Amino acid sequence: MFYTESFDVIIIGGGHAGTEAALAPARMGLKTLLLTHNIETIGQMSCNPAIGGIGKGHIVKEIDALGGAMAHAADKGGIQFRTLNASKGPAVRATRAQADRSLYKAAIREMVEAEENLQIFMQGVDDLIIENDRVVGVSTEMGLKFKAKAVVLTVGTFLGGKIHIGMENHSGGRMGDPPSIALADRLREMPFRVDRLKTGTPARIDSRSIDYSKLQEQPGDTPIPTFSYMGKKEDHPEQISCHITYTNSRTHDIIRASLDRSPLYSGVIDGVGPRYCPSIEDKIVRFADKDSHQIFIEPEGLNTYEIYPNGISTSMPFDVQFEFIRSIEGFENAHITRPGYAIEYDFFDPRDLKPTLETKFIDGLFFAGQINGTTGYEEAGAQGLLAATNAALQVQGKDSWFPKRSEAYIGVMVDDLITHGTQEPYRMFTSRAEHRLLLREDNADLRLTEIGYKIGLVDEERWRAFNIKREQVEVEMQRLRDTVMHPADVNAEQNERIFKGSLSREYRLNELLRRPNVSYADLMSIDKFGPAVEDPKVAEQVEVQFKYAGYIDRQQLEIDKQKNHEETVLPDDFDYSTIKGGLSNEALQKLQDQKPTTIGQASRIPGITPATISILMVHLKKHR
């Protein structure tokens, strides 16, 4: 039976990719439907209740700059905020929020429910309706069919999901949720390349059974950072501390003695786990010389006693989990509220996707989130936003949009995925970006909000606020360029404290700001040059842009050099076999298999040499 209404875009799955995906086309004015297993789990954090961190925080800011939901929810749900790498350069500074799991979920649900053009329906999807290689709708577990012009699939760890605790395993999407078996079987019949990955989570502990007197306290930052560019400090709930403890050699002995009952080491789990977020048994085997690993004790919320011991995710049998947890300082009487477990699931080779995250085999079908081989809420959210935006643009008959590597971490992630695929759960790091001084947390709005507004993702309120900020930055930068400081403007104490006594001639303020130890606040503390601009985010922008101007200009120059490659499009139907005299069999095979969208992307495919790129460029020039 067909549902009476039809939709522009249908999103399957209400996780982190799915909620950003559902909100984007709706913001763009399209009739959108979110189909998900369970309305109560919309926005649920499957693993640790935290948003952001190095690389991931950058993505959250980019989602926010494009009008997305994650940063708002983190502001409303965040119970401890920190700026990581605060003393390092601006490229690697990153915001991280410990979240109250329920507040975060409630904030996401509120935004989803409030969105005018978005309907929600609670049903598992079992099948896609495909006509002439184009998706035209979906069919649910009760046989209800929905028509749509485009579909975004964001089903996370649920496809063929298998949960492992020790040698026991059972089917599941995550603990307490059903897997997606019918849909997984159906997708396996399609031409996509499918493989298995795994991820894991630690046992949770009742905080009343922890001896906090033995632990190191870790308070959040003051003033409390906000995640959203539109965020206010009043958005934050009560703030609380995290704590730190460590595993010890006894913990490691207990785990080592039971490795034969570990599904990971006895061959029960085939899927590859996240190298950068390994289970505790993995750490003990891989870093055998270390006799201690740090554990962050993260509260799960303000109104719950459960804590998340970050750093000891495990799929060891429960009796081993119990014993090793009780060997840890402060956990001697720990009461476990939920066991740790690992989950194996299907993911699809992202090389079968276009940079819009549309599949190469079925028109109008987009994939986003964990099913593309990534791990993390932030990575998932960003893909959901990008995929659904492009689904919406396609429905509107407009050109697609995706950021370049030089424009956003989202661009870096998608280019990495579609060019290289992934052999392990992919997560974001700042080191993945070659232009990281341009891709800072502090300027994600300057990089993306304008395009977000043009596409229809950004509302008027954000657009107005953004323009005010952008203008204030420009005006203040110009004032600093135009203002000269004479030695007579500072007294001896100021000259010594701020300039180490070196202010012996006149300088423009922007030149002084380039000096390593001179801050914007220092300059504004001198009577004649203050007061500083009121908005600290404007002040930060002015300071960063001047202080790092040399490096930023150099990176911009490199980008300009590569611009030609990045903008030279290789058409979808480009027949590489027609190129006479030159392409090696290997290059031909790779280009035909992968169908890169630009010369820039082609140049990043392993095995494609500069010589191949020259041949392609010559061929394109001749046949233009």
CB atoms within 10 A of CB 313: 26
Among 94, 135, 155, 602, binds ligand FAD (CB under 6 A): 155
Among 46, 207, 279, 389, binds ligand FAD (CB under 6 A): 46
26 belongs to the binding site for ligand FAD (CB under 6 A): no
**In angstroms, what is the minimal distance from the CB of 176 to ligand FAD?**
10
Binding-site sequence positions: 13-18, 125, 180, 273-287, 370
Q: Which is nearer to ligand FAD, 181 or 302 (CB)?
A: 181
**Could you give the 3-state DSSP secondary structure of residue 241?**
coil
Longest dimension (CA), the chain: 84
**Could you give the 3-state DSSP secondary structure of residue 308?**
strand
Residues whose CB is less than 8 angstroms from the CB of residue 622 and which lie 6 or more positions away in sequence, other chains included = none
Contact positions with ligand FAD (CB under 6 A) in 353-372: 369-370
Q: Mask 226-255, x = binds ligand FAD (CB under 6 A)?
A: ------------------------------
CB atoms within 10 A of CB 290: 12
Among 31, 37, 149, 204, binds ligand FAD (CB under 6 A): 37
Nearest to residue 532, comparing CAs of 475, 585, 450? 475
Among 124, 225, 317, 355, binds ligand FAD (CB under 6 A): 124
104 belongs to the binding site for ligand FAD (CB under 6 A): no
Q: Are residues 123 and 38 in contact, defined by beta-carbon separation less than 8 angstroms?
A: no
Residues whose CB is less than 8 angstroms from the CB of residue 580 and which lie 6 or more positions away in sequence, other chains included = none
How big is the CA angle at 117 (ends 233 and 389), to the nearest 5 degrees? 75
Among 16, 27, 96, 149, binds ligand FAD (CB under 6 A): 16
Among 11, 17, 428, 512, binds ligand FAD (CB under 6 A): 17
Q: Which is nearer to ligand FAD, 21 or 608 (CB)?
A: 21
Token pair belonging to 208 = 């009343």
377 belongs to the binding site for ligand FAD (CB under 6 A): yes
Among 10, 11, 14, 207, binds ligand FAD (CB under 6 A): 14
Q: Are residues 347 and 194 in contact, defined by beta-carbon separation less than 8 angstroms?
A: yes
Binding-site sequence positions for FAD: 13-18, 125, 180, 370
Among 28, 60, 107, 125, binds ligand FAD (CB under 6 A): 125
How big is the CA angle at 60 (ends 439 and 200), to the nearest 5 degrees? 115
Q: How many residues lie near ligand FAD (CB under 6 A)?
A: 37
Q: Which is nearer to ligand FAD, 387 or 538 (CB)?
A: 387
Tell me the CA distances in angstroms from 407 to 255, 336, 462, 466, 473, one per residue in order: 45, 45, 20, 18, 20
160 belongs to the binding site for ligand FAD (CB under 6 A): no
47 belongs to the binding site for ligand FAD (CB under 6 A): yes
Q: How far apart are CA 151 and CA 8, in angstroms?
A: 9
Options 112-120, 154-162, 188-196, 501-509: segment touching ligand FAD (CB under 6 A): 154-162
**In angstroms, what is the minimal distance from the CB of 365 to ligand FAD?**
14
Tell me the CA distances in angstroms from 238 to 50, 215, 235, 241, one per residue in order: 16, 22, 10, 10
Residues in contact with ligand FAD by CB under 6 A are: 12-18, 35-38, 41, 46-47, 124-125, 154-158, 173-174, 177, 180, 183, 199-201, 277, 343, 369-370, 375-377, 380
